[in-house]
Amino acid sequence: MLRLSKLADYATVLLVHLGRHEGLATAAALAVETGVPEPTVAKLLKGLASSGLVLSHRGARGGYRLAGELEKVTVAAVIAAVDGPIAITACCDGRECEHSSLCGLSGQWDVVNDAILSTLNSITLADMGRHAERLPRRGPALAPAATVGAESPSVTEAVS
């Protein structure tokens, strides 16, 4: 269904929130402020810490803070940290497809995957946190079909 995991969604929310936070924020506080269940917040932040996206401090008055800047963290990085490498099909994530001899697609999903990946790499958490003035609520229902070679979708100006 090409759906993002809820965890990745939550992580994005948490990171944007953290990026606006002064000093350290505890998992419990973030849970309250974002509405995400606390155990889930704790679980997510632990993962994000070991991925290097956030820094943690233990003990009393400890907590988390963003490791870098919102402008430097891409959505692709967040998704990869939470869900592992972005791979829209099993054929894309390195392992061999057992039907490869029959399917007749010979790795074309990789092209699609790369196109999506570069799209996600062009959007930062700063973009995600921007309160857009006027959002194109519904995108183009049917864009003219071009060739595969166009793998740099100019989405950057749509966001910024």
Q: Of 21-29, 44-52, 58-66, 124-132, which part binds its own copies (CB under 8 A)?
A: 124-132
Q: Does 17 bind DNA (CB under 7 A)?
A: no
102 touching DNA, by CB under 7 A: no
Indicate whether 65 belongs to the interface with its own copies (CB under 8 A).
no
Tokens linked to 29 = 């506080």
Nearest one of 15, 28, 13, 16 to 63, comparing CA atoms:
28
Do 9 and 15 form a contact (C-beta atoms < 8 A)?
Answer: no
69 binds, among DNA, its own copies, none (CB under 5 to 8 A by kind): none
Distance CA 82, CA 51 (A): 9
> What is the x/- site pattern for DNA, positions 27-66, by CB under 7 A?
xx--------xxxx-xx-xx--xx-----xxxxxxxxx--
